[in-house]
Structure 1
């Protein structure tokens, strides 16, 4: 009789444990499914912070779940791409959008948005290159004292319907500054005197009455000269100062230290980086142009945006 009692008790215990296990599994599955649903709905509504939290919640219920991890990573890459676009870090944005598009475990919604963004990005990058080429041509004309021709060239930027979009703010502002300098030169007769032209700090043409004009306009040309052309124009004292300088600036570095992937770092890229630093509460003016270049190169090598690099390095 006792054997039957123990048998019955064993069956009851097994049933209870099994029931608890089943209930626990069912609740976990239910919570996981709810979190994934919330995350997908948030993505659909472009509420990416909520989506990230929801996918993280799903992972808490199913640790190492590939589906939840894939959705979370895709969402994070998309957010990173958008941030890079806002900072005009187009190469970083392209890389992140491509990861989103090619994600094997993610939402088709984000994949499609990434495809659309990549098409737009291609157009933006082509136009940035076009505007940069136009600006550099106008700058060359300015330096040749062909101020009206320089303004006519700049009109190719100003007459473009897209030029005032936020993507082109840096190069557009540079064009505005150059046009102002051209107009100032034309106002003074456009006779090639220091008061009427944009000069680099290397220029020997100066006078007491033109120091102000040289200071304002010289910075535009200076930002676009390469290191070799600057060094050639230095005075003896300036060359000695550059030689004695122990830090890193435009006069003491190799060509490779002024390039990213074989392309010279432009003045607009430097200006954009300074703007990024300012938005973080870091004084961009406390860094030389070469300091900025060094940061851009380091960020590129690390495969991250300049903003992300600056947050890790300067904060």
Structure 2
């Protein structure tokens, strides 16, 4: 009889302990599931630190749980990618985001966001490479004294809407500083030219016809004097017939006779652009300074001639000074 009683007691105790254990397990399971759910919710809200805390709480309820571990590590990796991205450390960010996309059994939202970030990084790195190449070209042009050409090159950065985004802040600011330096040099008339081309500049003429400050040779033959006088009379007559109140020097007359260019009134709007963008007064002013420094009479050129010269130089991938010497 006593054995039967003890058996009943043992069964009751066993059931009680089992029930308690089951209840405890069920409670832990619920807390674990709640933590996982809250962690995923925090990811949806882009609160990654809070999500990490929830996944760690899940691990406290189920130590060593694979699912919670995967979610925790994936979230930490994504957060690390965001930190690197914010610091413009794009290679590190790319590594972290790639780890996120390769995670099996993780949060799909993190995978999708990481893929978007990887696409953005690819675009940023492509643009950075392009802007850096343009900047380096402009810098070399400045060092060569080609300030206008340098500014034209810099416009590829400064007029690009994408370049003003925060991702490109460093290279964009460097481009603006270089442009300011170029403008300062132009305004101060400190426009150096290639030392090897200095002797090619047009020199003042000693011909008395072109330079009234130089006296005629007193030993010239009477025949030469007669020819000169005759020529002078012909020129005076031509000028008088053209205008009774204005006169041109021989160099101005020569420039007018030789001018075969175009102006802004004779070309369509599409021809009034520089590298596809509307030409500005500053660009034309800078270009005139460069052309003048190259020994070319920029005063004989219309604004449209200047625009054509800039585009021609860009098309031939040569300096504006060199293009002007070759074509004017």
Give the Å deviation of 1:149. Answer: 0.5
Q: CA offset at residue 126 of structure 1?
A: 0.2
**1:73 counterpart = 2:60:** no
Superposed CA deviations along residues 253-293 of structure 1, whole A, max 9, x for unmatched, are xxxxxxxxxxxxxxxxxxxxxxxxxxxxxxxxxxxxxxxxx
Cα distance, 1:15 vs structure 2: 0.6
Question: Aligned ranges for residues 124-273 of structure 1 at < 5 Å?
Answer: 124-192=124-192
Give the secondary-structure state (helix, strand or coil) at the position aligned to 1:94.
Answer: helix
Q: CA RMSD in A?
A: 1.1
Which residue in 2 is equivalent to 1:12?
A: 12
Q: Output the CA distance in 2 between the equivalents of 1:162 and 1:86.
A: 17
Secondary structure of residue in 2 paired with 1:162: helix
Q: In 2, are the aligned partners of 1:32 and 1:62 still within 8 Å (CA)?
A: yes
Cα distance in structure 2, aligned partners of 1:111 and 1:181: 46
1:105 positional shift:
2.6
Give yes or no for contact 2:80–2:93 (8 Å, CA) kept in 1.
yes
**Paired residue secondary structure (1:163):** helix
Higher Cα radius of gyration: 2
2: CA distance between counterparts of 1:167 and 1:64? Answer: 40
What is residue 121 of structure 2 aligned with on the other side? 121
Distance in structure 1 (CA, Å) of the matches to 2:162 and 2:34: 44
Which residue of structure 1 aligns with residue 84 of structure 2? 84
Alignment of 1:297-312 (within 5 A): none
Equivalent residue of 2:105, what SS?
Answer: coil
Q: Distance in 2 between matches of 1:39 and 1:132?
A: 42
Task: With the length of structure 1 as denominator, give the TM-score of the two structures.
Answer: 0.60
Cross-structure match for 1:61: 61
Which residue number corresponds to residue 218 of structure 1?
none
Q: Residue 146 of structure 2 contacts residue 191 of structure 2 at CA under 8 Å; is this kept in 1?
A: no
How far 1:76 sits from its partner (Å)?
1.1
Q: Distance in 2 between matches of 1:121 and 1:103?
A: 20
Q: Distance in 1 between matches of 2:95 and 2:180?
A: 37
CA distance in 1, matches of 2:26, 2:122: 48
Aligned length: 193
CA-to-partner distance for each residue in 1:81-117, whole Å, 9 max, x for gaps?
1111111100001001101111113111110111111
Deviant stretches of 4+, over 4 Å: none
- Partners of 2:69 and 2:173 in 1: CA distance: 42
Alignment gaps of 5+ in structure 2: 194-328
SS of corresponding position for 1:171: helix
TM-score (norm 2): 0.58
Once the two structures are TM-superposed, the CA of residue 47 in structure 1 deviates from its matched residue by 1.6
